Structure 1
Amino acid sequence: MDEAIQELLAEIRELYLADGTPWVVGYSGGKDSTITAQLVWMALAGLPVEQRTKPVHVISTDTLVENPVVAAWANRSLEAMRTAAAAQQLPIEAHRLTPELEDTFWVNLIGRGYAAPRPKFRWCTERLKIRPSNKFIIDVANKYGQVILVLGIRKAESTTRRRTMERHEKGRVRDRLSPHGSLPGSLVYSPVEAWTTDEVWMALMQYPNPWGHSNKDLLAMYRGASEDSECPLVVDTSTPSCGDSRMGCWTCTMVEQDKSLKAMVTNDEELDWMRPLLALRDALDIEDDRHLRDFRRMNGTLMIHRDRLVHGPYTQSAREDWLRRLLEAQTKIRARGPEYVRDITLITLDELHLIRRIWVFKKHEVEDNLPTIYEEATGEPFPGRPLDETIAFNAAQSMIDTLREVCGDDEEEFLRVRALLEVERIYNSSTRRAGLYDALEKVLMKHGFEDEEDALAFARFRRGEPAKEQGALF
């Protein structure tokens, strides 16, 4: 394999010296991105210092809900890259990218109430992964006119990946450079596109990591994430490869179960502290979560599918419960976990502050329960000031209690009156009251039903369907 590696290093050097277009190397800390970054590093190290003029950016996107072990691994690797690149006089810059605050997983799930991602509602990938990296790439392309993306994608990963790569190959403008499917001014170079998983591992074991991060430890991490705790390298086609381990977001509900997280907890006693994460992930991934979600869509509209209302965002009680569980998991890990996770952050204070504002100002949940939930779950006072001293309900829990008492068990009546009072409060403190009636009408349209059955009857009537007897839905 050494001869093939040397030929590939020569190819990388030739492409690097061909023009002044900067490179952006995608790095996740996994095996494919590691060998790709390592090959680029080795190729540049083989050039005279005076020829190492073109910048090479290594970007790693941290979704903030990555498997904590993998996230820590990737962050340590980026730090090692920065130190080693400076010491070896290489034009390599390592960057850790994160989603915008508005796009984070918990702001959308706990704050706005987006249901846990599903194949038909995959709202997470675009916000957490694609936007941060695309923004960086576009900024580089705008500055230099063009950018070359060096990615560790391989045709052997999946049939879909192979077809996509082959389709883009047809548009190649230069040898080994394919146009990016959605980023103008970006060309893609995939040096290990034809490699098998076993070839990736053999190369990682044969060549030491040039920035000082142990490839053997990477292998051990993959082995720990495999259910059988094994990770064969030289195998026949019937032998499962270590590359089948999937290590992504610990909150991921796009798969039936997080086998890698479960395997890590099972195979390594030192990782038993991650059990609260596994429990919370499994709680998010329930087959039927209709009882946790509002019967209206996010914008308050009604939609019928298969003679039932399509449920929308999580209810207030469900969102508060998810927050409480998350903070309790964080508190438990900090208290009982090993020293290196004593300051682990599952949800940032910035996220908590934004969630609080969404609950109070966007969803009219003027009880402002977040500080109380935080204190109950962590045993510490919430590190934030009152949102707005003019909010009447903010300091008048007795008014909420009175409203609850008057409405009794009629939850819809409570939500309706609470929202109407909050809209009136907002406009009462404004110098101009234009739009008040529209805002009140919007509340009445959203909360104008006695319950879900009443809303379903209205939706059927609006579609021109004949009325059905009460209880027919069930």
Structure 2
Amino acid sequence: MNDLQTSLPSARSLEQLVEHIQELTREIQDLYLSDSIPWIVGISWGKDSSTILQLIWTAIEDLPVEQRHKKVYVMTTDTLVENPIVAVWVTHSMKVLKAAAQEKSMPFEPHLLHPAVKDSFWACLMGKGYPAPRHGFRWCTERMKIKPVNQFIRDILRVYGETIIVLGVRKSESNIRAAVLKKNEVGRVRDRLSPNPNLANSLIYSPIEDWRTDEVWMYLMQFKNPWGGNNQDLFTLYRGATADNECPLVVDTSTPSCGDSRFGCWVCTLVSKDKSMEAMIQNDEDKEWLQPLLDIRNELDIHDDRDKRDFRRIYGRVELFERKSKEDKEITEIVPIPGPYTKFWREHWLRRVLAAQAQIQQTAPPDMQDITLITEEELGEIRRIWLEEKHEFDDSLPRIYEEVMGKPFKDTRIQEKKLLGGDEWSILEEICSDDAMHLELMAKLLDTERQHATKSRRGVFENLEKCFDSSSRSKEEAIAIAHEKRDLKEAASQGNVEKVKQLTWAQMKFKNDEETDLSES
């Protein structure tokens, strides 16, 4: 038995759970009536958050209408890459909740949040070229989940000055979760009510922090959903996402449960496998249309993707790091940190996602066929990044879109007459057919000049200089210079004056030779 199991109370019987719920209902009512601070319920519409929402709704519904004096904001985040089955469930649940709140004069106000377009998964991966997320570079969570939530909470704080955030966190979820909850107990205002360590003037209320998974399911199955939702459908959703298609109500720790099923982004590469989607496809032939999504996710989940990425960082500079040699772990090698996906692979992922979208819109059930894997706003942002930041003025996105989707791409944000166009790109490709870096440099120089044609000339020379700094050298030359700079810095830190002189002279000679070559060309 691990530390987590020993720290939790033993499982309650149904009678004990009913008694505990009655006490918890009184606690919720007392907290709700004690002040005018609005509540924000963070909900994913999974089992835990559905439980807290049902507990709070039931407690407030038992109060007279005139005592339901303050708002309860129900906040859900859609990352735009959620499992489509779950995304449809969430959208439907929000609509049902909103209708019931209006009908029953309940102070619940649902809000479906999204990341900013520039922070969306595909804008970052296809547009900027960010590699698929890893634990060492987990760029997705902050942009797609935390920022929208924090922005919403800050908006509430600006109006009311303070707020209480209700979360369905439980100690039995993991040892890490238990440790966090234990740490937050230090500054508690009252039972289950703690200061928010991330946002001032907000408190976190965790009513089911000591519940076990079996108690969550027992509550959802034994207590009717009060706003007209269907807890049995939620149970079925979890069961379908479990490998053995079983989801019993557990009565002790030896009984298997579907409580470990995890729903999240279908593109997630932070887990070894998307077990929930795999189980859905395995358990239900009506969900086989999800297979193209699983294929894309598995294709993204390649740990050694250096061949798909630039040898420079996203800002055009070569940076080095030390690692153990794959051939001999006793040897340390110094290699470039891989940068963003190259143009070829960014366009590849665009084709793959558009093709999958076209396929599921044909093969999915009728109520799922309007699903979009990538929005028009995201496509517009990707196009803007490729044109304005990557200087890829061949403007390949509309062409790829029409080839895959069979219809023209409409984008009102970019004026076609301002583009140099694909013909000019083809000419450059022909001229620079033997030198990819020369093509990149020429494209950047031409497009930088074009962008400044309608602007002030201020900054044009600095931007042109950046083009030369990032794109005027071959891969081998750029990496060699990075090694020399590293050696120079190391020699300087060691006080090796002679070596500093040699390296400095070598770099000056290389720069002079490079400038001569450029002027001649």
Q: Return the alpha-carbon distance in structure 2 between the equivalents of residues 94 and 35 of structure 1.
A: 16
Q: Return the alpha-carbon distance in structure 2 between the equivalents of residues 458 and 228 of structure 1.
A: 56
* CA shift in 2, pair 1:420/1:246, >3 Å: same
Percent identity (aligned): 51
Query: What is the deviation of 1:191?
Result: 0.4
Among 399, 406, 426, the alignment partner of 2:431 is 406
Q: Return the alpha-carbon distance in structure 2 between the equivalents of residues 195 and 123 of structure 1.
A: 32
Q: Which residue of structure 1 aligns with residue 85 of structure 2?
A: 69
> Larger C-alpha radius of gyration, 1 or 2?
2
In the TM superposition, 1:292-441 aligns within 5 A as 292-306=308-322, 307-385=334-412, 387-391=414-418, 393-394=420-421, 397-430=422-455, 432-441=456-465
SS at match of 2:304: coil
More helix by share: 2
Query: What is the deviation of 1:392?
Result: 5.1
SS at match of 2:392: coil
Q: Return the alpha-carbon distance in structure 1 between the equivalents of residues 157 and 95 of structure 2.
A: 25
Q: Return the alpha-carbon distance in structure 2 between the equivalents of residues 435 and 96 of structure 1.
A: 41
Q: Return the alpha-carbon distance in structure 1 between the equivalents of residues 282 and 275 of structure 2.
A: 10
How many pairs are equivalent?
463
Is 1:197 aligned to residue 213 of structure 2? yes
CA contact (8 A) 2:239 2:246 kept: yes
In the TM superposition, 1:49-128 aligns within 5 A as 49-128=65-144
SS at match of 1:149: strand
Letter in 1 for 2:382: I
In the TM superposition, 1:246-261 aligns within 5 A as 246-261=262-277
What 5-or-longer segments of structure 2 have no aligned partner?
Answer: 1-16, 323-333, 489-498, 504-521
Q: Return the alpha-carbon distance in structure 2 between the equivalents of residues 398 and 171 of structure 1.
A: 65
CA contact (8 A) 2:61 2:106 kept: yes
Query: What is the deviation of 1:174?
Result: 3.1
Q: Which residue of structure 2 aligns with residue 446 of structure 1?
A: 470
Among 456, 459, 462, the alignment partner of 2:482 is 459
Q: Which residue of structure 1 aligns with residue 18 of structure 2?
A: 2
* CA shift in 2, pair 1:440/1:181, >3 Å: same
Query: What is the deviation of 1:385?
Result: 4.9
Query: What is the deviation of 1:427?
Result: 2.2
Query: What is the deviation of 1:228?
Result: 1.3
Deviations 1:179-214 (CA, angstroms, capped at 9, x unpaired): 011011110110000000110000000001111111
SS at match of 2:487: coil
SS at match of 1:148: strand
CA contact (8 A) 2:311 2:339 kept: yes
Query: What is the deviation of 1:409?
Result: 3.2
Letter in 1 for 2:450: R
Q: Which residue of structure 1 aligns with residue 10 of structure 2?
A: none
Letter in 2 for 1:371: P
Letter in 1 for 2:337: V
CA contact (8 A) 2:380 2:413 kept: no
Query: What is the deviation of 1:389?
Result: 4.3
Letter in 1 for 2:459: G
* CA shift in 2, pair 1:203/1:392, >3 Å: closer
SS at match of 2:447: helix
Query: What is the deviation of 1:261?
Result: 0.8
Give the TM-score normalised by the residue count of structure 2: 0.87
Q: Which residue of structure 1 aligns with residue 39 of structure 2?
A: 23
What 5-or-longer segments of structure 1 have no aligned partner?
Answer: 468-474
Give the TM-score normalised by the residue count of structure 1: 0.95
Is 1:154 aligned to residue 170 of structure 2? yes
Deviations 1:72-102 (CA, angstroms, capped at 9, x unpaired): 1111111111111112111111111111111
Q: Which residue of structure 2 aligns with residue 470 of structure 1?
A: none
Q: Which residue of structure 1 aligns with residue 507 of structure 2?
A: none
Query: What is the deviation of 1:218?
Result: 0.4
Letter in 1 for 2:383: R
Q: Return the alpha-carbon distance in structure 1 between the equivalents of residues 58 and 91 of structure 2.
A: 21
SS at match of 1:463: helix
